[in-house]
Amino acid sequence: MKQGVLTPGRVSLLMYRGTPCFRGYGRRNGEYRRKSVRGCIVSQDLSVLNLVIVKKGKKVSKAPKIQSLVTPLTMQRKRARIADKKKRIAKAKSEVADYYKLSCFSIEGTKGKE
């Protein structure tokens, strides 16, 4: 039973490679073959119908990625990183100030000797 063929009986259609109901043929590019196919309308002459009942499932919902990435632990680590950075900057500033004081003393000492 081929979808789109609106007849209860058989019809012979010209098919090409890749169409449904026509697999395994068409070894050459663009090769067409005629194949007999039953239409999609159910009629009296069918003794058995092979059907599958499909239950509709829930729609797939995707959680945002940021939700799994941002946790209290990661926030704690981020705060610690920022605090360490501030400490390093303050230490560097104090070292620069100390060096500046020493260099000023040494410059004053050399000026006095001249």
pLDDT for 30 equals 80
For residue 24, being part of any structural domain is answered with yes
For residue 3, being part of any structural domain is answered with yes
For residue 60, being part of any structural domain is answered with no
| CA distances, 102 to each of 17, 70, 84 (Å) | 87, 47, 27
Mean pLDDT of 37-45: 85
Domain extent, residue 32, equals 1-46
CA pair distance 24, 66, nearest whole angstrom: 47
Residue range 42-90, pLDDT digits in tens: 888 888 888 888 999 888 888 777 767 788 999 999 999 999 999 999 9
Q: What is the pTM of this model?
A: 0.39
Number of structural domains (the chain) is 2
